[in-house]
């Protein structure tokens, strides 16, 4: 059951079953109560994907951008596949990408065969174009709002708003002058304190009661979650929640990776990151139901807070949001202290005091912007980055064995993002050549399937029987973007 946004605007809280808990929170963020910059970004984001599917997929500019970024990021890749008119545009773009990136890989393979070396040219890639477009929209909206606050009337309205999310307060801070920033942070501090109080009130009432009424839990989170993490458009793509996923079998890391390497259905590193994530979240869920305190392990960044909303039980979401609010409140406090003028010694002369007043305020503004713009320290990001790099190092060690190399060649190999990361970790020349040859082979086969699928799409070719090439467009997205959507940036 979806809840109409009008119902949210009127503030009614219907009784919710578990899946609706997530939908309700998400709709609230996009509804009347959410951050205006989030709403603007979400609206323009939809336009980006609609325009991509309708017209931009056929432009050289799009192909160039996606070649430099090695496709979309995993979340935006999943979003393009889920788009109602996804297939033709996604297939066309990835046919071009397999051709272009395949050529680069073949060039690397042949120069290495000739013994002329060749640097790790795919070790770096640009940011995903959809993410870049989102960054641009965010920057423009944040700058617009910050500039508008120079008008006293707008400033007065801003106080009534109190719903700009923290990620977008961070974006606005870059464009605010000293006094406006002080004002914005003051307003946000009141909002954060009030949200923290509503979460604390829930805690006092229910504690770690697993069967606490979800209606109350939603009530506690209505202000707090959007304020902390803004909106995340990845939300609707990933069901079922964690509780419905099987627990990963407990083996050693070597056995886990050996098994993942021989699979044909996905990149070994993506599989391992997913396993690490599920394992960590299940552990956290178990601990939270026992009433344990472990703030230092809870997800904090907006992406992983929303991942907790999608994957975790409501009590874990409440604990994570409470912890993130505490960190945000600390960051705001430090920034406000930094902005406050230090008491200058009364005995100093007039000119040094004037100079200090002018230069000091510039310095304090710069420092306060740095403090507020600092990314929140997220244990989930650290865990997943380590899982990615440690898995790639283990893979490199395992592939020294020829039997394991054969299994890896027969299996899926790596997605382009993790192939690129493997090169960034400076593998030996032999490992570089081996990984590149495997990747080039996988990409050549994928390209053939994509071409075969588009050859068979006209009516005249319909009588020919078709096979797995029908799904090549989806597999192409996974090959470029990877399949683990909560990857840290």
Contacting positions for Zn ion (CB under 5 A): 35, 37-38, 73, 76, 128, 130-131, 165, 168, 230, 267, 269-270, 301, 304, 378, 380-381, 415, 418, 482
Closer residue to Zn ion (CB): 24 or 480: 480
Whether residue 163 contacts residue 34, with contact meaning beta carbons closer than 8 Å, is answered with yes
Q: How far is the CB of 133 from Zn ion (least distance, A)?
A: 9
463 three-class SS:
coil
Q: How far is the CB of 28 from Zn ion (least distance, A)?
A: 13
* Cβ-based neighbours of 256, under 8 Å, separated by 6 or more: 272, 275
Whether residue 242 contacts residue 311, with contact meaning beta carbons closer than 8 Å, is answered with yes
Whole-angstrom distance, CA of residue 26 vs CA of residue 6: 14
Closer residue to Zn ion (CB): 336 or 380: 380
Closer residue to Zn ion (CB): 147 or 470: 147
> Element (H or E) spanning 315, and its range?
helix 314-339
* Cβ-based neighbours of 435, under 8 Å, separated by 6 or more: 414, 419, 422, 423, 427
Buried-state track 389-408, b at ≥16 Cβ within 10 A, e below 16: eebbebbbebbeeeebbebb
Q: How far is the CB of 327 from Zn ion (least distance, A)?
A: 12
Whole-angstrom distance, CA of residue 315 vs CA of residue 211: 9
Whether residue 151 contacts residue 183, with contact meaning beta carbons closer than 8 Å, is answered with no
For residue 25, is it left (φ>0), alpha (ψ between -120 and 50) or beta? Answer: alpha
Whether residue 34 contacts residue 226, with contact meaning beta carbons closer than 8 Å, is answered with yes
Q: How far is the CB of 411 from Zn ion (least distance, A)?
A: 12
Closer residue to Zn ion (CB): 269 or 472: 269
Closer residue to Zn ion (CB): 94 or 364: 94
- Select from 413, 434, 430, 424 the least CA-distant residue to 385: 424
Q: How far is the CB of 208 from Zn ion (least distance, A)?
A: 24
Whole-angstrom distance, CA of residue 173 vs CA of residue 366: 10
- Select from 322, 281, 330, 279 the least CA-distant residue to 300: 322
Whole-angstrom distance, CA of residue 290 vs CA of residue 118: 55
Q: How far is the CB of 43 from Zn ion (least distance, A)?
A: 12
Closer residue to Zn ion (CB): 94 or 418: 418
Closer residue to Zn ion (CB): 79 or 369: 79
Q: How far is the CB of 130 from Zn ion (least distance, A)?
A: 4
Q: How far is the CB of 427 from Zn ion (least distance, A)?
A: 16
Structure tokens at 487: 């990857």
Structure tokens at 125: 């890639």
Closer residue to Zn ion (CB): 284 or 378: 378
Q: How far is the CB of 404 from Zn ion (least distance, A)?
A: 18
What is the DSSP secondary structure assignment for residue 468, as one 8-state letter?
A: G
Closer residue to Zn ion (CB): 12 or 382: 382
Q: How far is the CB of 49 from Zn ion (least distance, A)?
A: 11
Closer residue to Zn ion (CB): 76 or 439: 76
Closer residue to Zn ion (CB): 412 or 473: 412
Whole-angstrom distance, CA of residue 202 vs CA of residue 332: 24
Q: How far is the CB of 367 from Zn ion (least distance, A)?
A: 24
Between the two ends of the chain, the Cα-to-Cα distance in Å is 33
Residue labelled with tokens 């010694």: 345
């Amino acid at each position: 059951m979806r809840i109409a946004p009008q119902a949210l605007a009127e503030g009614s809280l219907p009784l919710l079953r578990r899946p609706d808990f997530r939908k309700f929170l998400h709709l609230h963020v996009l509804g009347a109560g959410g951050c205006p910059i989030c709403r603007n970004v979400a609206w323009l984001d939809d336009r980006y994907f609609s325009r991509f599917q309708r017209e931009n997929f056929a432009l050289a500019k799009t192909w160039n951008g996606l070649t430099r970024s090695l496709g979309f990021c995993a979340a935006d890749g999943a979003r393009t596949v889920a788009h109602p008119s996804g297939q033709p545009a996604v297939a066309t773009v990835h046919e071009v990408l397999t051709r272009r990136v395949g050529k680069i890989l073949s060039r690397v393979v042949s120069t290495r065969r000739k013994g002329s070396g060749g640097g790790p040219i795919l070790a770096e890639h640009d940011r995903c174009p959809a993410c870049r477009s989102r960054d641009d929209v965010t920057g423009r909206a944040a700058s617009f709002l910050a500039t508008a606050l120079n008008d006293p009337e707008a400033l007065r309205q801003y106080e009534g708003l109190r719903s700009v999310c923290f990620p977008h307060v961070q974006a606005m801070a870059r464009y605010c002058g000293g006094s406006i920033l002080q004002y914005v942070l003051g307003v946000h501090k009141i909002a954060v304190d009030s949200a923290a109080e509503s979460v604390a009130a829930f805690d006092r009432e229910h504690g770690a009661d697993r069967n606490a009424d979800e209606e109350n839990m939603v009530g506690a989170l209505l202000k707090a979650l959007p304020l902390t993490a803004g909106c995340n458009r990845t939300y609707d793509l990933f069901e079922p929640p964690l509780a419905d996923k099987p627990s990963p079998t407990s083996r050693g890391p070597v056995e886990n990776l050996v098994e993942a390497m021989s699979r044909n259905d996905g990149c070994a590193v993506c599989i391992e990151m997913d396993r690490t994530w599920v394992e960590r979240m299940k552990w956290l869920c178990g601990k939270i139901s026992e009433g344990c305190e472990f703030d230092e392990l809870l997800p904090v960044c907006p992406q992983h807070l929303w991942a907790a909303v999608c994957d975790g039980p409501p009590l874990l979401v409440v604990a994570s949001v409470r912890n993130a609010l505490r960190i945000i409140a600390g960051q705001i406090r430090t920034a406000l202290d930094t902005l406050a003028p230090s008491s200058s010694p009364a005995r100093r002369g007039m000119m040094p005091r004037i100079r200090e007043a002018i230069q000091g305020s510039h310095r304090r503004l710069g420092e306060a912007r740095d403090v507020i713009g600092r990314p929140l320290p997220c244990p989930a990001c650290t865990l997943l980055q380590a899982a990615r790099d440690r898995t790639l190092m283990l893979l490199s060690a395992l592939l020294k064995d020829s039997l394991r190399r054969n299994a890896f060649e027969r299996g899926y190999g790596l997605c382009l993002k993790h192939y690129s990361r493997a090169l960034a970790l400076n593998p030996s020349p032999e490992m570089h050549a081996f990984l590149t040859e495997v990747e080039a082979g996988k990409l050549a086969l994928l390209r053939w399937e994509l071409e075969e699928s588009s050859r068979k799409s006209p009516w005249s070719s319909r009588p020919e029987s078709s096979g797995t090439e029908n799904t090549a467009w989806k597999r192409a997205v996974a090959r470029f973007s990877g399949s683990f959507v909560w990857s840290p940036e």
